[in-house]
Structure 1
Amino acid sequence: MLEGSSTGVVPASLSRSRAINERLHQLIPGGAHTYAKGDDQFPEGMAPVISRGRGAHVWDVDGNFYVEYGSGLRSVVLGHAHPRVLDAVRAQLELGSNFVRPTVIEADAAERFLTTVPTAEMVKFTKNGSDATTAAVRLARAHTDRSLVAICRDQPFFSTDDWFIGTTAMTAGIPEQPTMSFPYGNLSALSDLLDQHGHDIACLIMEAATVTEPPPGYLEGVRALADRHGCLLVLDEMITGFRWAASGAQGLYGIVPDLSTFGKALGNGFAVSALAGRREIMERGGLRSSHERVFLLSTTHGAETHALAAAMAVMDTCVEEEVATRLNNLGDRLRSGVHQVAVAAGVGEHVLVRGRSSNLVFATLDQHGNPSQEYRTLFLHELLLGGVLAPSFVVSAALTEADVDRTIEVVANACAVYKDALETGEPGKRAGRPVKPVFRRYA
């Protein structure tokens, strides 16, 4: 836990992290392999470099200890170094991890996945979410003989590939893309889009839910519109899979997509993701279809045995231990506590917790009620000083009630500082330069 000061001076105990961050920038573009992990996402000079983790706790290279949220960008759902997952991985590593032909664990893992997510009929594993979503787009285009993709514009990320990144502010090096968008929760707007362009749209790609729950009848309406216009419904379950329910958001809400993609929590930190869906569509990428073949997914490391072993252990644990229920209970406790201390500090309308309890995020609003990067920076600054590493409030099953209660205490202190900044109008005086949005045109 960091030792803070009333002047906001960065603690000397982050000296090794600052030095290694500089080294990372010299060797790696952006200083990290994921933009969301960049040091521009943290207050200046306060981006810890992690040395190890156990459960819901991590230690940085300077020896500081943190309670961690958003573990592995939501991927480490059970907690770091989970014993059941590590045991499964170790057992497979003793047998070898990659071969010139498939292994039996590929069939075992596929059967386990399709049992856990019964709305799908076939599954293919790969290493990252972007490969899975792009493969879904490729299948949809081949199946419908159409080129346009329609994405839900209110949801932040679907792929690193051109068809999505071309819709963001970071378009350098990307030609114009045949991608359209629609707003979440508005069936009329989607209907209008499909009435105008439906004959060219291969698929609708979206998350079933993010910060807000789907309005009554919305997902059923999306399904009906897709069917009416002959396009495929692709559900991105990278975040919702195993957090909303073991069977994904599709299982929780009772919606059957044509294709869906899973990742993140599926491996509890190990690299594995999945494309799943209807047999007649998935077989276009196989050897038993009479249609023209689709180059679906062909990855050297897509079926590494230890990653599939991790996935099987995660699926078993999520079902047997009702992990989604635990995540919601922990999130409920955190949400309630943060709201109480924010109200008590007089910032209840400025520090807000939003989203499903298993996937909480926080909003930081300025004195006018507008989202503010400056106030986000101040809030992150105070959390770090209190030993809480929380770019979001996304919980893992490894958190204890004591961890959550300690977090609420730190938030209470942060809210007191926040209140002072609202009164002076100078959030940057203590926290320094503001954190930046990931999608921006220039550094």
Structure 2
Amino acid sequence: MTPSYENSMQWLERAEKSIPLGSQTFSKSKMSLPLGAAPLFIEKGLGSQVWDIDGNQYTDFINGLLCISLGYQDPDVDNAIRDQLSSGISFSLPHKLEAQVAELLVELIPCAEMVRFAKNGSDVTSAAIRLARAYTHKDHIAVCGYHGWQDWYIGSTTRNLGVPASTQALTHKFTYNQIDTLEALFADTNNQIAAVILEPVNIAPPEDDFLLKVQQLCKKHGAVLIFDEMITGFRYHLGGAQSYFGVTPDLATFGKGLANGAPLSALVGKKEIMMLMNDIFFSGTFGGEALSLAAAKASLQKMIATNFANDIWQKGEYLINGFNQLTSCGDMFEIKGLAPWTFLQINPGINHCPITIKSWLIQELCKRNILFIGSHNLSYAHSYAEIDALLTCYQELFAQAQQFDADNTLAAMLDGQVIENVFKVR
């Protein structure tokens, strides 16, 4: 049965009168879901489940773009927030929670000798870049992956409107698992690279000691190595992907699941570099906001107590193994990535492009009470039964997609609009 999205459509029309795109986040907007055939507003969440404003219920495999690590309304985290709320939210001086959470991160993360908090990933990746420039007295940056909306990074993408050409010229892309592309950047910039920043893993795992070779190049050329662990942090290992792969960067950024949905990010790293914080003037009113720090403290303590990373690995491997046993994938569907964070890769059909196929698949998953936009963002709250339900839907829908594509009828099966790509970075 096709769900009703009447309220979502009405609220979108209302929101767009005062909010560009009707959303604060591109990946949560009508660009990422087939308009008219998927929900656009969420009312509430509990565990692995969410309810949209039309009352439709879904198993959520988006999980707030991976910021929900333990599950919606985790009782331990929410109780910590309530307890802190009785004392206050923001204060005129630092709160002891700042030191307590920083100490937990120093204990867990290999590169973390000092810690600074902010609110978003873009805050701390940008602070890391400024630190690296101050430390090395160089200006150029080598990037691989997605690192936020600030000028220094977004100027290197197709979303570069408003970024000065002089800023764009300082950031250079290299290709994951192709160390020669990074070597070429050091040569082309006459060894003026201040920092190499990358997601330590995304669609593909590192091959042929790639991360170690990146580290060695940085040491050779005097560049700061930054791991953007916004997603990989705690998910691959409680010490981050740097712990899992055994390569320690100079600086690293964390966020997303750090506080189970509360807004908090962290820049951690070597004391020698982090002490330049005072000189680069990275300062914000809400970095020490106490509710999010209380949520982070409770989240980290629960992740330690429950062996969170091992749980996510096991569920992810279960999903991969089940996917690989499907008989309906054909040449159109593949699973990519390591177990804690996997991607559904959709290949071109005979008559339809991947974006059309993906739009139809999202639509059909919504009809089957599953919320999904392309990656499997597992949380501690997800059950194996819910993973089985997703795989059952895949088995059915993959076969249908290939048949509809061969018949050249899949586009006609869309109840809404084709989704749009924000831009491709992985």
TM-score, normalization: structure 1?
Answer: 0.91
1:317 corresponding residue in structure 2: 302
With over 3 angstroms needed to count, the CA separation of the structure-2 counterparts of 1:228 and 1:163, relative to structure 1, is same
- Can you list the C-alpha shifts for 1:219-250, whole angstroms capped at 9, x where unaligned? 11111100100110011000100111110001
**Does residue 318 of structure 2 align to residue 329 of structure 1?**
no
Partner of 1:415: 398
Q: Are 2:63 and 1:78 equivalent residues in the alignment?
A: no
Aligned-partner residue type, residue 397 of structure 1 = Y
Deviations 1:304-341 (A, max 9, x none): 11111111111112222111111121122222323333
Question: How far off is 1:198 after superposition?
Answer: 4.9
Q: 1:350·1:369 contact (CA, 8 Å) conserved in 2?
A: no
Counterpart for residue 213 of structure 2: 221
Q: Partners of 1:54 and 1:300 in 2: how far apart?
A: 31
Q: What is residue 280 of structure 2 aligned with on the other side?
A: 294
Cross-structure match for 1:396: 379
* 2:24 is equivalent to residue 33 of structure 1: yes
Q: d(CA) in 2 for partners of 1:118 and 1:299? A: 26
Aligned to 2:110: 118
Alpha-carbon distance in structure 1 between the residues aligned to 2:285 and 2:65: 24
User: What's the offset of the Cα at 1:413?
Assistant: 2.5
SS in 1 for 2:218: helix
Instruction: Answer yes or no: is the 8 Å Cα contact 1:116–1:315 preserved in 2.
Output: no
Shift of 1:268: 0.7
User: What's the CA shift for 1:404?
Assistant: 1.1
* Equivalent position of 1:134 in the other structure: 126
Asked whether 1:303 is paired with 2:288, we answer yes
Deviation at 1:351, TM superposition (A): 1.5
Identity of aligned residues (%): 35
Tell me which residue corresponds to 1:7. none
Kept in 2: contact 1:198–1:229 (CA 8 A): no
Three-state SS of the structure 2 residue aligned to 1:39 is coil
The one-letter amino acid of 1:435's match is: I
Q: Aligned with 1:73: secondary structure?
A: helix
Does 2:330 correspond to 1:348?
yes
How much does 1:412 deviate? 2.2
For 1:234, give the aligned amino acid: I
Q: Is 1:437 aligned to 2:410, yes or no?
A: no
Q: Give the distance between the partners of 1:331 and 1:317, measured in 2 at CA.
A: 20
In structure 2, runs of 5+ residues without a counterpart are none
Q: Tell me, what secondary structure is at the counterpart of 1:319?
A: helix
Q: 1:369 to 1:266 in 2, by over 3 A?
A: farther
Counterpart AA for 2:125: T
- Give the total of aligned pairs: 418
2:407 pairs with 1:424? yes
Contact 1:43 1:434 in 2 (8 A): yes
CA distance, structure 1, for counterparts of residue 324 and residue 406 of structure 2: 20
CA distance in 1, matches of 2:301, 2:408: 50
- Residue 370 of structure 1 and its aligned partner are, at CA, apart by 9.1
Structure 1 segment 264-303 matched on structure 2, within 5 A: 264-286=256-278, 293-295=279-281, 297-303=282-288
Go from structure 1 to structure 2 and tell me whether the alpha carbon gap of 1:369 and 1:186 turns closer, same or farther (over 3 Å shift).
farther
Deviation of 1:257 after TM superposition, in Å, equals 0.8
Deviation at 1:159, TM superposition (A): 1.6
8 Å CA contact retained: 2:350, 2:406: no
Alignment of 1:97-116 (within 5 A): 97-116=89-108
Q: Tell me what 2:323 maps to.
A: 338
| SS of residue in 2 equivalent to 1:27 | coil
**Structure 1 unaligned spans of 5+:** 5-10, 287-292
Partner-residue secondary structure (3-state), 1:26: coil
Which amino acid is the alignment partner of residue 420 of structure 1? Q
What CA deviation, in whole Å up to 9, does each residue of 1:138-189 have, x standing for no partner?
001111111111101xx2x202101111111122211112111111111222
Aligned counterpart in structure 2 of residue 44 of structure 1, from 35, 39, 58: 35
SS in 2 for 1:303: coil
| Paired AA for residue 7 in structure 2 | R
Q: Is the 8 A contact 2:111 2:250 kept in 1?
A: no
Tell me if structure 1 keeps the 8 A contact 2:68–2:260: yes
Shift of 1:52: 0.4
- Aligned partner of 1:163 in structure 2 is 152
Match status 1:248 vs 2:233: no
Maintained 8 Å contact 2:197/2:225:
yes
* Shift in Å, 1:42: 1.1
The answer as to 2:330 corresponding to 1:359 is no
Kept in 2: contact 1:363–1:371 (CA 8 A): no
User: d(CA) in 2 for partners of 1:294 and 1:355?
Assistant: 36
Segment drifting more, 410-419 vs 36-45: 410-419
How far apart are residue 385 of structure 1 and its match? 1.0
Q: Distance in 2 between matches of 1:68 and 1:104?
A: 35
Paired residue secondary structure (2:335): strand
